[in-house]
Amino acid sequence: MSEEDPLRIDLIRDLEKDVQQLAAVRYAAKGETFESKGHKPPTFFMGNPKWNMPPIDEVVKWSKTSRGGQQFSMFREDELEPGCMSWGLCDTGGR
């Protein structure tokens, strides 16, 4: 998405900032902070506020790597017929 529609990444970044500001105001009204609650600032990929989910810019950067060694290629590079044909995943149009 970051390459096909970079404006969407900009939108997500702006939404993250807005939500973080609103959350900070909500906590401040109670005399609390993210840190005092043991929470991280909210991000687009957030579920539980205690999870350490990265902001969109870090996710985009991570997506352009080999995922820190945690992601493996779907296809072996040494296969004679690499790609979807060797796994039967290609859309052959009903042929």
Residue 77 forms part of a structural domain: yes
* Cα 13 versus chain centre, distance: 12
Residue 39 forms part of a structural domain: yes
Instruction: Write the pLDDT tens digit of every residue in 49-62.
Output: 666 788 999 888 88
> What pTM value is reported for the model?
0.62
Contact 34, 41 (CB under 8 A): yes
Domain enclosing residue 79, as ranges? 6-87
Report how many domains make up the chain. Answer: 1
Residue 22 forms part of a structural domain: yes
Q: What is the pLDDT of residue 82?
A: 54
What token pair was written down for 9?
A: 């990444």
